[in-house]
Amino acid sequence: MSGATLNAGTGVKPWRLGARTRKAVLVLHIASVGSWLGIDVVMAVLTFTALGTDDQSTKVLCFRVLELVTVWPMTVSGLMCLVTGVLLAMGSKYGLTKYWWVVVKLVLNLLLSTLVLMSLRPGVAEIADRAEANDLDIPLGDMIYPPIVSPTLLMFAVVLSVFKPWGLLRKKKR
C-alpha cells in the first residue's frame, strides 16, 4: 500500500494499490484488452471469410473454429479486463464511480461480457450445429454485428482510457 491522503470529511484513509502492484495489475489489464481485441480480429477474419467464400468446406471449417476460438477465450479476456479494471479504479484516485470515463468503461465491459455469454454463445453454437448438418443458409444479419460492434466499442474504451474525458460525475462542493 502507498501513502494516501485522508478522505475529506471522514478522516478514513482510502485504499490504494502500491506502485508495483498497480503496475502489475495495469500490465494484466492491458494484456487482457490486447487479447480481447485479438480474438475480435480472429472472429472478424473467420466470419467474413465464411461469408465471402463459395467453398463449402472452408465455410464449415470457419464456423466450427468460430465457436472454438470466440466464446470462452473472449469471456476470460472480458472478465480479466473487468476484474483488473475494477482493481485499478478502486485502488487509485479514480475510484469506481467518480469519473465518467471509468463508469462508461465499466458499463461497456459489463455490456460486452454479457453479450458474449447471452447472445454470441448461443449464436455461434447454432451456426456450428448448422455447419455440422451442412445447412449453411445462415442469414447474414445474424453474423456481421459481433465482429464490428465489439472491436468498435473496445477501441472507444481504449480512447477513453488514454484521454480520460468528461471529468467528475458529481461536481466537488466548495
The number of CA neighbours under 13 Å toward the Cβ of 67 is 16
| Residue keyed to cell 476484474 | 83
N-term to C-term CA, the chain: 29
Question: CB under 6 A: which stretch of 8-16, 40-48, 84-92, 128-136 binds ligand HEM?
Answer: 84-92
**Which of 85, 123, 146, 151 touches ligand HEM (CB under 6 A)?**
85
Strands (E), the chain: none
Q: Which is nearer to ligand HEM, 85 or 147 (CB)?
A: 85
- Rounded distance, CA 130 to CA 127, Å? 5
Q: Please, what is the minimum distance in Å from the beta carbon of residue 124 to ligand HEM? A: 21
Considering the rule CB under 6 A, would residue 66 count as an interface residue with ligand HEM?
Answer: no
Closest distance to ligand HEM from the beta carbon of 32 (Å): 8
33 binds ligand HEM (CB under 6 A): yes
Is 102 among the residues that bind ligand HEM (CB under 6 A)? yes
79 CB-contact burial (10 Å; exposed 0-12 / middle 13-18 / buried 19+): middle
Exposure string of 131-151, with b = 16+ CB inside 10 Å and e = fewer, is beeeeeebeeeebeebbeebb
Q: Closest separation between CB of residue 26 and ligand HEM, Å?
A: 6
| Residues 110-169 contacting ligand HEM, CB under 6 A | 154, 157-158, 161-162
Alpha helices (H) in the chain, listed in sequence order: 19-52, 56-90, 100-115, 121-132, 141-163
DSSP state of 99: B
- The residue within the footprint of ligand HEM, chosen from 88, 120, 124, 143 (CB under 6 A), is 88
Binding-site ranges for ligand HEM (CB under 6 A): 29-30, 33, 81-82, 85-86, 88-89, 92, 94, 96, 102, 105-106, 108-109, 154, 157-158, 161-162
